[in-house]
A and B are shown apart, each in its own frame.
Chain A
Amino acid sequence: MFGDPTLDINTANEHIPPNHCIWAKNLLEQAIKGFDDDFKGIIATHGCDCTNREFDIWLECVNLEFFYFLNAPLKRNEAALKFFIDDIKELIIQLEDKFNVTITPAKISEAIRLMNKIRNLLRQISDYRSNLQIKGSDFHSLVKSVQKMDKGKALEMLKSKIDELKSHNLQSINKLKKILLTGSVIDDTEFIVFLENLGFHIIIDDLCIGTKYFWHNVDEAEEPVKALAKYHLSKPIYSTKFPSYKRFEIIKDLARQFNVDGVINIAQKFCEPILYDHPYFSKKFKELGIPYLFVEMEYNRESYKQLTTRFEAFKEII
């Protein structure tokens, strides 16, 4: 699911206090209003305190056939892996029971192979982004589309995109400041467009709708459920997991590898995991001499404009 920054929040406010994650509230608002798409259910994963607790509210007031809370572990060790495998297996059992289907290891392996192909192509396209052959906003939009669509169709779409990009050269991007973008969920492509209009190019990111989606592949030789669990526990760590400070190392390495002009860290309003990490990041980037901008923002497009001065000032100093 993605948020909708154009949505007015009304009903969700009857369930969630005003100082709770605005993005999660946006999703609940959509869910209560009812989905246009043929949604059958939701699988929510252990994220932050707000999203975890809101799952029960979804159970109370959202009309869907299937609900599962996947306890993606906080830690990354053998015990966590064993637990995560158990929880994924439970998800499979509940899906099979609910929809009267059979999810065989062979089917999971098939899906893994397909997703790995998609990840390979997305990595290639991300390289085009880094080589200034595709705009950050177009790339963001592409990843978002892949996440939403049928994966067979996504593969075909990406193949054609690569053919198109081979001969692409966007000289205009070269003039922009090269930025690493990180932070909370950033699912509004318009925000990336907004940054581009201010003179930034997102050359690399540490985002869910970005590198985290295709960082590496699932091991196709491993038993599929175990392979999936291992894959998720070996992705670049999220701010919601422990130790989240490791994110700094990942971001620092990316910043150096892509020779960025600066790092922008965005916290959606009340996003606690990002708020806790920010002072540490700020201190560490300062020590390294890498320009770093931290911005807290509302989840609506009107609020972007209010931030213009801060981004412009940052651009001036880098």
Chain B
Amino acid sequence: MSAIKKKGKMLNATNKLKNEMGRHFLAIEQAYRDGTPTAWATAGTPVEFLYTMDVQPMLPENSATISAALKKSQNFIELAETEGFSYDLCSYFKTNVGAVLSNANMSVGGTRKPTFMLSSDVICDTHVSWFQVQAERFNVPHFTIDVPHIVSNTTNRQREYFKKYIIEQLWELLDFIAELTGHEYNPEKGREVALNSYELGKIWQDVFELRKNIPCPVSTRDTFGGLFPLFTMTGLESPIKLYKHMYREAKQRVENGIGALENEEYRLMFEGIPFWYNLKFFSNLERWNAIIVYEPYVYAFTKYTNPNITKEMVINNPVESMAELVLSFWYIYDLETRVKMFKETVKDWKIDGVLLHDNLSCRPNACGMYDLKRKLMEEADIPSLVITSDMNDPRKMNETQVLNQIESFIEILRERKKS
């Protein structure tokens, strides 16, 4: 680690993210004051339908990341473990259990008792188990969306009845919410929310498109934080403005040949959820003139990655489109598609190396990672490195070891550049 420490540039617009987050938390406070229904939702669920039905969403995963960023997650996790939850279980889940047990404030990752909970197994079964645990403890209703698992040999014929099953459940969800809250589904509002969601996702994708440029105008300083509205506020108008601002600023950088990192040398991809308690790890890469230019995890939540789903379809048939989108979610790609998408991304974003986070808390994401690495190296000649750690549990990161691994990895990239 002899290199001189570099200072990367964050977009000015990203500073306004705090305002957006504040807006979200204020909306939650307001909902409790007004008696508006609230719901916990897991990542990957259609939060848009909550907004359509005038239900205020809260995402405990995002709250857990706040706990980690504020160095509070370990205490919450250990508290959950004293309740009998294993050391090996998801650290988001345990952060949430501990935060609730501690009556933690929203500003440090607490999440209040909701009217109901909405989960899905689209990303992991943990989401369903997690909300089962908490719904029982809070004694609130819990609706879950079962998303059939797509594997490498799933056929188009199968996808059709998979989609039918999801559509039926989405209508059941709307009925469930209507029964619980007395709010009826308003198709007009459904279209409006769907359009906002689409716009938000697409602008974020445009920002990613700009990252193809050398030097890359946007770093993880903007993306990991900027991700927040994609989870919690998709369907609202206000975050669109923020993303448009980010886009404009990034475009200006491209036009002026300015990168987020001075002297960009190595362009990297980071797969998996970041270490929220140690985001400085990503800034540390700058010591070696290395920058992350693509994060599949972040891109996944733009949601509108299926080219067959057009804007018109999203607006005119929000439920049917959502079913298709849920099935084509980047984060859950089967191994064959995952490898194909990685190879394409590496080429399009001119990536020199891939960092793969073997996340001890996220087995679905980590599963297949070794094969992914091997295929990237053997079939696409792309150096790839697996880092074993955890997204929210600092006890599971050995920083020195990881940095040593990175240093050696950069050395390999350096040698390749020479030849």
Contacts and interface: CB of A to CB of B under 8 A. Distances in A.
Interface string A4-42: 000000000011110110000000000000000000000
B392 interface: no
Interface string B401-415: 000000000000000
Interface in B41-76: none
B132 A50 contact: no
Interface in B83-113: 83-86, 88-89
- The residue among A16, A56, A277 with the most chain B CB atoms within 10 A of its own CB is A56
Contact of B146 (A53, A60, A74, A296): A74
Q: Which of B124, B363, B364, B366 has the most CB of A within 10 A?
A: B363
Interface stretch (B25-33, B154-162, B208-216): B154-162
Contact of A242 (B144, B161, B162): B144
B84 A55 contact: no
Contacts of B126: 49, 272, 276
B206 interface: no
A15 B374 CA distance: 10
Nearest to A46: B149
A56 B151 contact: yes
Nearest to B362: A49
Interface stretch (A124-132, A208-216, A278-286): A278-286
B364 A244 contact: no
Interface in B219-267: none
Contacts of A71: 148-149, 162
Given A56-B335, A79-B169, A272 B133 contact: no
Nearest to B135: A243
A55 B151 contact: yes
B154 A69 contact: yes
Nearest to B335: A56
B335 A50 contact: no
A75 interface: yes
A133 B363 CA distance: 43
B334 interface: yes
Interface residues on A, range: 35 or more
Contacts of B370: 14-17
Contact of A245 (B130, B136, B388): B136
Interface stretch (A83-91, A139-147, A151-159, A164-172): A83-91
Nearest to A18: B388
Interface residues of B, number: 49
B146 A242 contact: yes
Contacts of A67: 153
A190 interface: no
Contact of B364 (A49, A59, A75, A282): A49
A90 B88 contact: no
Contacts of A60: 152, 335, 371
A54 B164 CA distance: 25
A72 to B, nearest CB: 10
Q: Could you say which of B84, B85, B146, B172 has the most chain A C-beta atoms within 10 Å of its C-beta?
A: B146
A182 to B, nearest CB: 16
A32 to B, nearest CB: 12
A16 to B, nearest CB: 7
Contacts of B162: 71, 83
A69 B132 contact: no
A56 B152 contact: yes
Contacts of A111: none
Contacts of A15: 370-371
Contacts of A49: 124-126, 363-364, 367
Contacts of B146: 73-75, 80, 242
B352 interface: no
B165 A57 contact: no
Contacts of B154: 69
A90 B158 contact: yes
B360 interface: yes
B324 interface: no
Interface in A257-291: 270, 272-273, 275-280, 282
B335 A272 contact: no
Secondary structure call for the A interface: helix
B84 A282 contact: yes
A92 to B, nearest CB: 13
Interface string B332-371: 0011100000000000000000000010100110111111
Contacts of A17: 358, 363, 366-367, 369-370, 388
Given A16-B367, A242-B146, A79 B172 contact: yes
Given A19-B360, A82-B165, A90 B157 contact: yes
Most buried by A among B133, B165, B369, B371: B165
A79 B129 contact: no
Given A53-B367, A244-B132, A279-B85, A272 B336 contact: no
A48 B161 CA distance: 22
Interface string A226-251: 00000000000000101111000000
Contacts of B172: 79
B168 interface: yes
Contacts of B136: 245, 280
B121 interface: yes
A300 interface: no
A48 to B, nearest CB: 6
Contacts of B161: 83, 86-87, 90
B128 interface: yes
Contacts of B130: 276
B364 A52 contact: yes
A19 B358 CA distance: 10
Nearest to A68: B153
A16 B371 CA distance: 9
Given A17-B388, A59-B151, A83-B161, A272 B367 contact: no
Given A49-B124, A86-B164, A276-B130, 17 more contacts: A17-B363, A17-B369, A17-B388, A49-B126, A54-B367, A60-B335, A61-B371, A69-B153, A74-B125, A74-B144, A79-B172, A83-B161, A90-B155, A242-B144, A272-B363, A273-B129, A280-B133
The 5 closest A-B CB pairs, nearest first, are: A53-B367, A56-B335, A279-B84, A276-B129, A83-B165
22 contacts: A14-B370, A17-B358, A17-B363, A20-B363, A20-B367, A53-B367, A57-B371, A61-B371, A69-B149, A69-B151, A69-B154, A75-B144, A79-B172, A80-B165, A83-B148, A83-B161, A86-B161, A242-B132, A272-B126, A272-B363, A276-B126, A279-B84
